[in-house]
Structure 1
Amino acid sequence: MATLLIVEDDALLLDALTGQLQQLDFSVCTASSVAEATTVLQSQAVDGIILDLGLPGADGMELLTWARTHIAGLPVLILTARDGIDDRIHGLNAGADDYITKPFNMQELQARLQAMLRRARQPAFTQSSSASGGPSTTIGSLQIDHGHRNAVLGGEPLELTQREWELLELLVNRCGEVVTRDDVLAAWRAGPPEPGQAAAAPLNSNALEVYVHRLRRKLDASNLVIRNIRGLGYMLAKPAE
């Protein structure tokens, strides 16, 4: 049975979430502030966090930063009313594994929680340090160095454009989960234009299809598959153990 920490200051929502997750066989502990949540995390082990951002006293992002510093690999799902693209990008770039905005669908929350927890238990997916000391991720035969923004597949360097790298990193960071088209396009728009590409070059679903096709071809020699999830986006399937 997985244990979840819910960090939420709305008492009614906290009670409702707790009850529904317990019915789904989760063990639940709760906190209504960053200070309370930190105390819980220092006193007991949990398998994942559902984190609100608008908390009294200190912002939920402070807890995310603390958790990323003190508890390696702990899955965090942000559940918040902050629905701006910049907020979502900031939360994911700060280390959240997923981001859902309120109001939300309980079935979707359940599905995303289970996907997040499965990914955290996936033995083929490991996070470590690269030879240069920076953060790296290995999944199957692919290793990516986040600090130097490069990738190695089967011991051979992968030649990637800036957009291909950003797409690959996003898919790897959320391996086994759906990455929506909007997620990719938002990440692209938040960064600088690709070298040699005009700043006004369109970033749309058609352009995304082209980059997904190119990235699939570059991963052909591996056991990594980028799946189309109809009507939603894409998912990097977990390699067979």
Structure 2
Amino acid sequence: MATLLIVEDDALLLDALSGQLKQLDYSVCTASSVPQAMALLQMQAVDGIILDLGLPGADGIELLTWARAHIAGLPVLILTARDGVEDRVQGLNAGADDYLTKPFNMQELQARLQAMLRRARQPAFTQASSTQGPQLTTLGPLVLDHAGQAAALNGDPLDLTQREWELLALLAHRVGEVVTRDDVLAAWRASPTEPGQAAAPLASNALEVYVHRLRKKLDASPLNIRNIRGLGYMLNRP
């Protein structure tokens, strides 16, 4: 059972949201201000945060920045009435994993929470290994060296940019499963900017460009990146 911290100063919304999440088998703790949330996080471990921005005394971004500095990998979903593009950009650039505006649909919130928590449980760029030494993933003629962030196809090194490597590693880590656009964009947001590129909001159309480029580099193999309409992408097993 995942434990969620809801940081919200609207008592009615806080009570309603807590009740609905508990019905969905989440364990819930609550805070109505940034200091209260910080104190709770120092006493109790949680699996994720639902964070309002318009809080009394201090903005929710302050809590987000503090959490990123003190609790590595803690998933944060911003839930706020601020629906401007600049607000979204600020929240995501500050380290939020997702951003949803009020009023919201409970089913959408549930889906976003599940995706966010799933990403936290399944790191994008690592492959679990029970042995010491280089962490390798082998998919037919494709070999990924996660320690060196390098890939080879039919024994020949692949020339990959940082973003292409991250995309390929995520698809390979979940080979045969659908990887959503949000999964990829969240993984990219969590990684350093490519050399020579300014930090900027990542767009969905940029993902399509990287998928196209990666398909061309895998063209000489039985591996295929499928476009799953309305969902995302899937790397077929060779």
TM-score (norm 1): 0.65
Tell me the distance in 2 between the aligned counterparts of 1:43 and 1:215: 45
Give the secondary structure class of the aligned counterpart of 1:103. Answer: coil
Matched, 1:56 2:56: yes
Encode CA deviations 1:152-192: one digit per residue, 9 max, x unaligned.
335956433x9x66x959x89xx976336xx89xx9xxx9x
Question: Partner of 2:17: helix, strand, or coil?
Answer: helix
CA distance in 2 between partners of 1:107 and 1:213 (Å): 32
Q: What code does the residue aligned with 1:3 have?
A: T
Spell out the pairing of 1:81-120 with structure 2 (5 A cutoff).
81-120=81-120
How far 1:143 moved relative to its partner? 5.3
Contact 1:115 1:177 in 2 (8 A): no
Question: Cα deviations across residues 74-121 of structure 1 (Å, max 9, x unaligned)?
Answer: 111111112222222222222111111111111111111111111211
Residue identity opposite 1:212 in structure 2: V
Cα separation, 2, equivalents of 1:62 and 1:225? 43
CA distance in 2, matches of 1:96, 1:225: 31
Identity, % of aligned positions: 69
Query: Does the 8 A contact of 2:4 with 2:46 survive in 1?
Result: yes
Alignment check: 8 A CA contact 1:5 1:31 kept: yes
Quick one: which amino acid aligns to residue 153 of structure 1? A
Q: Determine helix, strand or coil for the equivalent of 1:104.
A: coil
In 1, Cα distance between equivalents of 2:212 and 2:34: 43
Q: How does 1:23-62 map to 2 (within 5 A)?
A: 23-62=23-62
Alpha-carbon distance change, 44 to 83 in structure 1, aligned in 2, over 3 angstroms: same
Structure 1: any 5+ residue segments left out of the alignment?
Answer: 127-137, 146-150, 196-202
1:12 is displaced (CA, Å) by: 1.1
Relative to structure 1, the CA distance from residue 204 to residue 21 in structure 2 (aligned partners, 3 Å threshold; closer, same or farther) is closer
Structure 1: distance between partners of 2:208 and 2:108: 25
Q: Which amino acid aligns with 1:159?
A: L
**C-alpha distance in 1, partners of 2:66/2:86?**
21
Distance 1:7 1:100 in 2: 14
Residue 123 (structure 1) shift: 5.7
1:214 corresponds to which residue?
A: 213
1:220 is displaced (CA, Å) by 6.7
* Residue pair 1:3, 1:29 contacting (<8 A) in 2 also: yes
Q: What is the CA–CA distance in structure 1 between the aligned matches of 2:204 and 2:5, rounded to whole Å? A: 37
Q: Give the corresponding residue for 2:140.
A: none
Residue pair 1:116, 1:177 contacting (<8 A) in 2 also: no
Is the 2:6–2:30 contact (alpha carbons within 8 Å) kept by the matching residues of 1?
yes
Which amino acid in 2 is paired with 1:228?
A: N
- Which of 178, 181, 192 is the aligned partner of 1:179? 181
Return the TM-score normalized by structure 2. 0.66
Instruction: Please state if 1:153 is matched with 2:151.
Output: yes
Distance (Å, rounded) in 2 between the aligned partners of 1:139 and 1:121: 20
Distance 1:15 1:178 in 2: 31
Task: Write the distance in 2 (CA, Å) between the matches of 1:48 and 1:86.
Answer: 24
State how far apart, in whole Å, the 2-side matches of 1:209 and 1:11 are.
42
CA shift, 1:215, in A, is: 2.8
Query: What is the total number of aligned residue pairs between the two structures?
Result: 201
- How far apart in 2 are the matches of 1:17 and 1:90? 25
Distance of 2:25 and 2:61 partners within structure 1: 28
**In the alignment, is the contact (CA less than 8 A) between 1:8 and 1:52 conserved in 2?**
yes
User: What is the CA deviation profile of residues 54-83 of structure 1, one whole-angstrom value per residue up to 9, with x for unaligned ones?
Assistant: 111111111111111111111111111122
The amino acid that maps onto 2:76 is V
One-letter code aligned to 2:8: E
Q: CA RMSD in A?
A: 4.3
